[in-house]
Amino acid sequence: MSNIARRKFIQLSAVAAAGCLAIPGRRVFAEDLPQLSTDDPMANAMKYTHDASTVDAASRTNPAADQNCANCALIQGNDGDEWRPCQIFPGKTVNANGWCSVWAPKA
């Protein structure tokens, strides 16, 4: 291997190694995500609350009796967890007892 080829090989190896360190491929868990604040503008727009029992059932678009994040089709994560990811609020977790106006029944 010539000196130039060896130098290029070392440079490319260093770049590849740096890429491996910059993208560790770590899974994100719900407990790593911040909890959605009711002060969040998006949460306000969707009338999100941490406690579904505070919402007047008659004011809901779909006035079904029991609506909360735990029984919403858009919830993610593990059943039984208090705070879980939601498809409507990416990068945040919502309270399993919460509710917002986008609530949809599970199929």
Chain residues that interact with ligand SF4, rule: CB under 6 A? 48, 69, 72, 74-75, 86, 88, 94, 98-100, 102-103
CB 97 within 8 A of CB 68: yes
Cβ closest to ligand SF4, residue 33 vs residue 72? 72
Least separation in angstroms between CB 19 and ligand SF4: 35
Residue 74's Cβ-count burial label (10 Å; 0-12, 13-18, 19+) is middle
Cβ closest to ligand SF4, residue 20 vs residue 65? 65
